[in-house]
Chain A
Amino acid sequence: MRYSALFLCAFAPAIAFAQAVDRTQVPALDKPPVLKLPTLERAGISNGVTLQLVQQHELPLVQLTLVIAGGTKLDADQPGLASFAARMLTEGAGARDANALQSQLAFLGAQLFASAGTDAFTISLNVPKRALGEALDLLGDVVLRPSFRSADVRRQRDLRLAGILQRRDNPNMLAALAFNQIVFPAGHPYHRASDGDSASTARLDSAAVRAFYEQTFVPERARFVVVGDVTVPEMRALLGRTFGAWTRGTTPRTMAAVTVKPVSNTQVKIYLVDKPNAAQSIIYLGAPGADRLSPDYPALMVMNTILGGSFSSRLNSNLRETKGYTYGISSRFTWAPLAGPFVISSAVRSTVTDSALIEVFREVKALRDLAVDAAELERAKAYVALGVPQRFETNSQVAAQLVDLGAYGLPLASLGDFVSKVNQVTAADVQRVARQYLPAGTATLLIVGDVAKVRAGIEALKLGSISLLDVQQVAR
């Protein structure tokens, strides 16, 4: 311990000084630090694959993310196939079975994950610089030479089936599943859970996974995002060596145009999922939201911060901090190329389910009907705008920002534009987007709870029609 004796002495006279402090005054703050964005370099590597790179030489580490456009929207008639194929990449590749692969990664100090989002596959490698070459060999195996052995496919399939069964235990999971099933009708890519259902999962086999893989993991849809202790020439050479022979797909799989529209209610529709003796009701209230490229994006971020996107938001202040109905309530948009859901969600004490709904609808209505006051607006804008630099603390955070922006063809500098647009949002903007996107009389309301206890109270509110959903059907 480095003990500062000098400092200790310095405190003695400070006591007298400290008594003079006027504690009643909130300290004046300096201007916040300006957003400094990292420098991005671009290059092509062979077969049309692009490379985006941010040099970060303080640490001998490299974060490499391979993004392949595609994802669960390519599931077509077999929900869960895309996420399962991604999962199977690290279950054996090249000459290594899954154990040998994981063991070698651990030995190198590397982390390798593969997953499927709605619109892209992501394969993420985090590795010490000195092991980059060897780790890229493993990445090459995983992306170009996955094994998909029948025994491994069957084991992972059975584990996934068990997980699907366990969804029935979890009321939050049930609420999220049911909400998406209703708001995005069958045929819409958001209708199904990303890990599918038990019928589609039971049909998974090695041939299906391999066929899907060959149609989707193709170089013409791939880009590398690299952040860390490397330069573009180094990285181009390494990637050229590993991925130079990656051949273009012969029949790349595409998604049929989405013709199914999200629900458009003319009145509130209520759905109940019964969990007898539940101590709490899970409430999901919402509607289709907006897409990420919507010009309303900055205003929606501010509006949502005010409604339920921060601790001191209106919903949390009311339902948690004033009424004590819940441990927390929040609202959020799911940002994606195709408009995702807007949801207000909470777990409330069963006996106050109806009272909680009254308050939620009251807050929604207030934000639609009345302009927000200046202090509340400025607070929300600052919270959104000043939070941006915190997204750039680690290599993996920087990479995640590049992956996200890249999915929409947005440059890094768009974050600066975002901050200035947030700073320009007015009370009128907030009210306009609240009226447009916050469902008052047209919401979908989903409740997972003890129906025998909560139904009468909900009916008495006369919000709209009530239907019962079957747990086995929601989590099938």
Chain B
Amino acid sequence: MRRLILTLAFAGAPALALAQGAPLRVPATVDTLPNGLTLIIHEDHSVPIVTSNVWFHVGSGDEKPGRTGFAHLFEHLMFMGSQNAPYPQFDRLLEAAGANNNGSTTEDRTNYYEDGPTSALPLMMWLEADRMGWLLPTMDIPKVDLQRDVVKNERRQSVENQPYGMVYDYLPKLLYPAGHTYSWSVIGSMADLSAASLEDVKDFFRRYYAPNNATLVVAGDVKPDDVRAFVRKYFSDIPRGPAIERPVPAKFTVRDTAIVLEDRVQLPRLYLNWHTVKGWHADDAALDIAAYVLAGSRTSRLTQALVYNGEIATNVNARQDGKRLDGDFSIIATARPGRGLDTLRTVIDAELARLASEGPTARELEQARNATEAAFLRGIERVAGKADRLNAYYYQTGNPDSFQADLDRYRAVTAADVQRVVKQYLRTNRVMASVVPQGKLDLAAKKVAP
């Protein structure tokens, strides 16, 4: 009864139930093919649907300077046809089988997924195998040029033509030193997208798109032995690729920085960022909890101080972003009409100082832990969400069913932990960006030693 095991999950916040009850489990089998492909299977028979979710362990964090945005551009090329399923068969065949598909790229990985009726499983496996093994025979420069244009449009849509979007061209390079692979955005620069060549595509595929650098999760209303048979049939003769060398970034310290950008916006917005820790670091969960205590709910400290009591901001968000190599923490707040960002900064600094000196209350901590769990659990309510999480955990910990271990990290966070991480990470060496309406430089926040 796998659904029953997951049930506690849905329960929203039943931290108590979780603490007292059975551990949260999403049972999964792990198999490895001789060519290095890892296959993870999870059964959920509640609805007759299946999801296939492939992670290649490559992202913008593997790119070289001069080719920023390449991992994401490559993601687009994976949909442009392969030897036995030439363009546009991939989308057409899946749609004809009632299935949806997509992919996404982050700093650390690229994923590809299909969701559909169980009957579509053999097709999903055949298509995924064909592009994992035989993408290059049909790859050519017109395809690269076309998707280069599409990606540039994607960049226009998410950066150039997006209110406040330009700030993400600046923040990574202020938060990470030159040469660090997190010092550019996943979408990359227009110039680098223009520079990408067919030879780059071939090199990238041979280096990173090999079965030994991929994990395949199949989840849903399936019989594991059927899945294994299809995977064996279609993936077994894809050759293993070379061992991959990963960049190992040097240690660094962020310099206290303040920038001001003018944009075509009505209201100024403040971005505060700090260098913190990578995902699953001992302080990662405490920083997540700190983010919730600061801005995770209506009753959180910054929301109260800026939006509800102070009435100087329209909204505020906080986030710890622990990635594979490193991490950063951000607070983003938009001023109300007539308010400048320095007023917001002053209030935020006062609240950070208070949290660093007093820590959260017991009730704040409990609510933060419950809500963090609830949000996490809602994210795996659907089979597709579970599949992606199984892949993430396998990459991060070596065990796809790390659901309980992940929850345990949050349950272990104490008030003293939250107080300490705020003090240690969020009080110095800050990257601050003020985005203000054009010509309204006086609304920017002032740089001060916090």
Chain A contacts to B: CB under 8 angstroms: 1-4, 7-8, 10-12, 14-15, 17-19, 21, 23-24, 26-33, 36, 58-61, 98-99, 102-103, 106-111, 126-128, 130, 155, 158-159, 161-163, 165-166, 168-171, 275, 277-280, 310-312, 317, 320-322, 324-327, 347-349, 378-380, 382-383, 385-387, 389-390, 392-394
Of B49, B161, B298, chain A has the most CB atoms within 10 Å of the CB of: B161
Task: Write the nearest CB–CB distance from B110 to chain A, whole angstroms.
Answer: 18
- Chain A residues with Cβ below 8 Å from B99 are 386
In the complex, the answer to whether A61 meets B34 with C-beta atoms within 8 Å is: no
Name B's A-contacting residues (CB within 8 A): 1, 3-4, 6-7, 10-15, 17, 28-34, 46-49, 83-85, 88-89, 91-93, 95-101, 115-120, 122-123, 125-126, 130, 134, 145-154, 156-157, 160-161, 163, 221, 228, 232-234, 236-237, 264-267, 297-299, 304, 307-308, 311, 314, 336-337, 367, 370-371, 374, 381-383, 398-400
Q: Are A171 and B237 touching (Cβ within 8 A)?
A: no
Closest to B7 in A: A59
Instruction: Indicate if the CB atoms of A18 and B88 lie closer than 8 Å.
Output: no
Give which listed residue, A4, A10, A166, contacts B267 with CB less than 8 A: A166
Q: Known contacts A387-B98, A393-B382: does B150 contact A320 (CB below 8 Å)?
A: yes
- Contact, CB under 8 Å: B123 / A327: no
- 19 A-B pairs with CB atoms under 8 Å apart are A7-B228, A8-B31, A12-B34, A29-B120, A58-B1, A128-B12, A155-B311, A158-B311, A159-B307, A165-B267, A165-B337, A312-B91, A321-B146, A379-B96, A386-B116, A390-B49, A390-B115, A390-B117, A393-B383
With A128-B11, A128-B12 known, 4 other A-B pairs at CB within 8 A are A26-B126, A130-B14, A317-B88, A321-B88
Nearest to A100 among chain B residues (CB) is B299
CA distance A310 to B99 in the complex (A): 11
Distance in Å: Cβ of B151 to nearest Cβ of chain A: 8
Check B266–A165 contact: CB distance below 8 A: yes
Tally of contacts, chain A with chain B, CB under 8 A = 254
Inter-subunit contact A324/B34 (CB<8 Å) = no
Identify which of B98, B161, B367 contacts A280 (C-beta below 8 A).
B161
Closest B residue by C-beta to A154: B311
Query: Cβ of B15: which chain A residues have Cβ within 8 Å of it?
Result: 109
Contact A278 B88 (CB under 8 A): no
Chain A residues with CB under 8 Å of B96's CB are 378-379, 382-383
How many angstroms between the C-alpha atoms of A339 and B374 in the bound complex? 38
User: A327 CA to B159 CA in the complex, in Å?
Assistant: 13
Task: Known contacts A29-B122, A386-B117, A393-B382; decide if A324 and B146 are in contact (CB<8 Å).
Answer: yes
B244 to chain A, nearest CB (A): 21
Partner of A27, one of B31, B123, B374: B123
Q: Which residues from B are CB-within-8-Å of A159?
A: 307, 314, 336
For the complex, give the distance between the alpha carbons of A1 and B116 in Å: 27
**Residue among A98, A171, A387 with most chain B CB within 10 A:** A387
Given contacts A27-B126, A58-B7, A320-B150, contact A15 B399 (CB under 8 A): no
Q: Is the CB of A59 within 8 A of B10?
A: yes
Among B83, B149, B157, residue most surrounded by chain A Cβ atoms (within 10 Å): B157
By a CB distance below 8 angstroms, the chain B residues around A171 are: 161
Of all chain B residues, which has the CB nearest A5? B31
> Smallest CB–CB gap between A474 and chain B, Å?
14
Determine the distance from Cα of A349 to Cα of B154 in the docked complex, in whole angstroms.
10
Question: A386 contacts which chain B residues (CB < 8 A)?
Answer: 97-99, 116-117
Q: Are A33 and B119 in contact (CB under 8 A)?
A: yes
Q: Which residues of B contact A275 (CB under 8 A)?
A: 264
Q: Do the beta carbons of B370 and A310 come within 8 Å of each other?
A: no
Report chain A residues within 8 Å CB of B97. Answer: 29, 32, 382, 386
Task: Report chain B residues within 8 Å CB of A168.
Answer: 266
Nearest-neighbour CB distance to chain B for A126, whole angstroms, equals 7
Minimal Cβ-Cβ distance residue in B for A379: B96
**From A109, A162, A327, contact of B314 by CB (8 A):** A162
Given contacts A18-B233, A26-B93, A278-B161, contact A169 B264 (CB under 8 A): yes
On chain A, the residues within 8 Å of B399 by CB distance are 1
Q: Max chain A CB contacts within 10 Å: which of B33, B96, B118, B266? A: B96
For B89, list chain A residues within 8 Å (CB).
Answer: 26
Q: Considering the complex, give the chain B residue whose CB is closest to the CB of A56.
A: B46
- B265 with A169: CB separation less than 8 A: yes
State whether B232 touches A11 (Cβ < 8 A). yes
CB atoms of B161 and A382 under 8 A apart = no
Q: Is the CB of A382 within 8 A of B95?
A: yes
Distance A275 CA – B265 CA, assembled complex (angstroms): 11
CA distance A159 to B48 in the complex (A): 44
Task: State whether A311 touches B91 (Cβ < 8 A).
Answer: yes
* A161 / chain B contacts, CB cutoff of 8 Å: 337
Residues on the B chain within 8 Å of A26, using CB? 85, 89, 93, 123, 126
Max chain A Cβ within 10 angstroms of own Cβ: one of B1, B101, B153: B153
CB atoms of B130 and A23 under 8 A apart: yes
Nearest A residue (CB) for B146: A324
How far is it, in angstroms, between the C-alpha of A24 and the C-alpha of B85 when the chains are bound?
Answer: 8
Instruction: Tell me whether B156 and A280 are in contact (CB under 8 A).
Output: yes
**Inter-subunit contact A107/B4 (CB<8 Å):** no
- Contacting residue for A1 out of B1, B3, B30, B101, CB 8 A: B30
With A103-B367, A280-B156, A312-B92 known to touch, is A389 a contact of B117 (CB < 8 Å)? yes
CB distance from A19 to the nearest CB of B (A): 6
Quick check: A99 and B336 within 8 Å, CB to CB? no
Residues of B within 8 A of A389 (CB): 47-49, 117
> Do A7 and B88 form a contact, CB below 8 Å, given A1-B399, A33-B118, A169-B265?
no
**Given A312-B91, A383-B98; A15-B237 close (CB under 8 Å):** yes
Residues of A within 8 A of B115 (CB): 390
Residues A383 and B95 in contact in the complex (CB < 8 Å), given A1-B400, A29-B122: yes
Nearest opposing residue in chain A for B266, CB measure: A165
Q: For residue B237, which residues in chain A have a CB less than 8 angstroms away from its CB?
A: 15, 18-19, 21
| Complex-state Cα separation, A149 to B362, whole angstroms | 30
CA distance A349 to B153 in the complex (A): 7
Q: Is the pair B12, A326 in contact by a Cβ cutoff of 8 Å?
A: no
Taking the nearest CB of chain A, how far is it from the CB of B336, in angstroms? 6
Question: A11 to B33, Cβ gap below 8 A?
Answer: yes
Cα–Cα distance between A28 and B120 once the two chains are bound (Å): 9
CB distance from B269 to the nearest CB of A (A): 10
With A11-B236, A14-B232, A111-B12 known as contacts, the answer to whether A2 contacts B30 (CB < 8 A) is yes
- Contacts of A8 on B, CB cut-off 8 Å? 31-32, 34
CB–CB B95/A311 < 8 A:
yes
Partner of A155, one of B88, B308, B371, B382: B308
B270 vs chain A, min Cβ distance (A): 15
Q: How far is the CA of A158 from the CA of B119 in the complex (A)?
A: 52
Residue of B nearest to A128 (CB): B11
- Interchain nearest-CB distance for A377 vs B (Å): 11
Contact: B84 with A23, CB < 8 Å? yes
Q: By the criterion CB–CB under 8 Å, are A109 and B12 in contact? A: yes
**Residues B117 and A32 in contact, CB atoms below 8 Å apart:** yes
How far is the CB of A129 from the nearest CB of chain B, in Å? 8
Q: Across the interface, do B13 and A29 meet the contact criterion of CB distance under 8 Å?
A: no
B340 to A: closest C-beta gap in Å: 15
B47: nearest chain-A partner, CB-CB: A393
